[in-house]
Amino acid sequence: MYNRVIKRGIGCFISAIALLVLAVPMLIVALLVIIDSPGPALFKQKRIGKDGKVYNILKFRSMCQGAENQGSGVYSGKGDMRVTRVGKIIRATSIDELPQLINILKGDMALIGPRPPLTYHPWEYSEYTDEQKRMFEVRPGITGWAQVNGRKNNEWNHRIELNVWYVDHVSLWLDIKIFFMTIFKVLANKDNENVGETVEK
């Protein structure tokens, strides 16, 4: 049976191997980020994880330092001037997400699962309905069912519906399907930019 222990073991094994194989490329990316824009290579941000626990997600910094307090708000869209030159490349290729392999080893995340929302967007944890909170019954993932079914084209209520669907249907074969669908999405660079409002008003 594909239970949480097996899912966690597979995720940790793949993450450890990936970090060993990608250690040098990730170091090069970190140096390019620092050279391109003043500030640290890694970006930490509070996210809501399993059972509503808040943790720091890790990413390669793709925007100028302090970008969250500038410009158009939480999420960036096409042509956002806060995104650095290197940032445009690592976002388009999803390389900025690689440090989350460390989050997996720490137990904050899984390879496959609902993408973790910010602590304040689309709303605070206490404002989710009981049905919506079911998406937090599993560890958040680097990629998930909502990411391969519209990704940033999905309004948040629909993303949450897709995340809850995943929780109800999680299996090894579904995770494998999501994994390969993610590779296709990344190679095609599909649905990788916010094109409108992320929350229905």
Listed by start position, the domains of the chain span 4-188
- Residue 70: the pLDDT is 64
Residue-wise pLDDT for 1-33, tens only, equals: 688 899 999 999 999 999 999 999 999 999 999
Confidence at residue 57, expressed as pLDDT on a 0 to 100 scale: 98
- The rounded distance, in Å, linking the Cα atoms of 104 and 108 is 6
Query: What pLDDT, on the 0 to 100 scale, is given for residue 201?
Result: 41
Q: How confident is the model at residue 73 (pLDDT cuts 50, 70, 90)?
A: low
Query: How confident is the model at residue 122, as a pLDDT?
Result: 93
Between 136 and 68, the higher pLDDT residue: 136
Q: Which parts of the chain are beta strand (E)?
A: 42-48, 54-60, 110-112, 141-143
Average confidence (pLDDT) over 174-181? 96
Q: Which single residue is written with the structure tokens 């956002």?
A: 80
Q: Are the CB atoms for 31 and 41 separated by under 8 Å?
A: yes
8 within 8 A of 15, measured Cβ to Cβ: no
Report the C-alpha gap between 134 and 151 in whole angstroms.
Answer: 19
pLDDT at 194 over 80: no
Stretch among 46-50, 111-115, 130-134, 190-194 having the lowest mean pLDDT: 190-194
The whole-number average pLDDT for the span 89-118 is 96
User: What is the percent of the chain where pLDDT is above 70?
Assistant: 88
Confidence (pLDDT) at 2? 80
pLDDT over 50 at 91, yes or no: yes
pLDDT computed for residue 74 by the predictor: 55
pLDDT computed for residue 150 by the predictor: 86
pLDDT tens-place string over residues 110-165: 999 999 999 999 999 999 999 999 999 999 999 999 999 987 778 999 999 999 99
Q: Is the pLDDT of residue 196 over 90?
A: no
Cα separation, 179 vs 175, in Å, equals: 6
